[in-house]
Amino acid sequence: MIAYLKGQVVHIDATTITLEANLIGYRIHFSQQHKVTLNDQIVVHTFLNVREDEISLFGFLTLEDLQLFRRLISVKGIGPKIALNMFLRSDSERLISAIETEDINYLKTLPGIGAKTASQMVLDLRGKLILESTNKESSNEQVKEALSGLKGLGYKQGELNKIEKELIKQSKDHDVGELVRIGLQLLMKQKGGF
């Protein structure tokens, strides 16, 4: 219903901010207080949570964080407040990494998450989360270059789509040339080459 709000930060506390937009103050449950200061003009991507006894807004500075939040609350046992608390202790990249690598021990360190819920998160979300964030643009550029090089070698887009996620994971530690080599190995495995 409310996709985002654009306005001025007029109040910050431990778990919420108040954003003034069009002369209305919106109280938003928020976990990224360290990234904003009073009087900042910001855009907050929001999730409207409606319950019998309460209507509340949960907000994030990036669309990627909001999308991950939506995924998290789809897991049985995780409500909006628990999901938001996870962002207070962690960030999108670390959460996605923990889910993708089945790091139950890390997930259990997050507030409100026990062994059962951590296992449920992995079961429900593993393989469905995309490792993308705004500060990964440089590594994504490397991946694009590597994929373009592989396409130049005659591989089809469908084949390249299947290895893109793995190349994104590898892009932190490798340059374009190494990513092309890794891509070739992955493509060979797909074809049963070795």
For residues 113 and 158, what is the distance between their CA atoms, to the nearest angstrom? 38
Model confidence over 106-134: pLDDT tens digits?
A: 999 999 999 999 999 999 998 888 644 43
* 18-21: long-range pairs with CB below 8 Å, 24+: 19/44, 19/59
Confidence at 191, pLDDT banded by 50, 70, 90: confident
Give the model's pLDDT for residue 139: 60
Q: What is the mean pLDDT of the chain?
A: 87
Q: What is the pLDDT of residues 38-85, one digit of tens each?
A: 999 999 999 999 999 999 999 999 988 999 999 999 999 999 999 999
Average pLDDT over residues 87-106: 90
**Phi and psi at residue 150, to the nearest 5°:** -65, -35
Q: Is the pLDDT of residue 138 over 60?
A: no
The answer to whether residue 96 scores a pLDDT higher than 50 is: yes
Q: Which of 86-90, 113-117, 161-165 has the highest mean pLDDT?
A: 113-117
- Domains of the chain, first to last: 4-60 (2.40.50.140), 65-125 (1.10.150.20), 134-190 (no CATH)
Long-range contacts, 1-4 (Cβ 8 Å, 24+): 1/48, 2/46, 2/48, 2/57, 3/45, 3/46, 4/43, 4/44, 4/45, 4/46
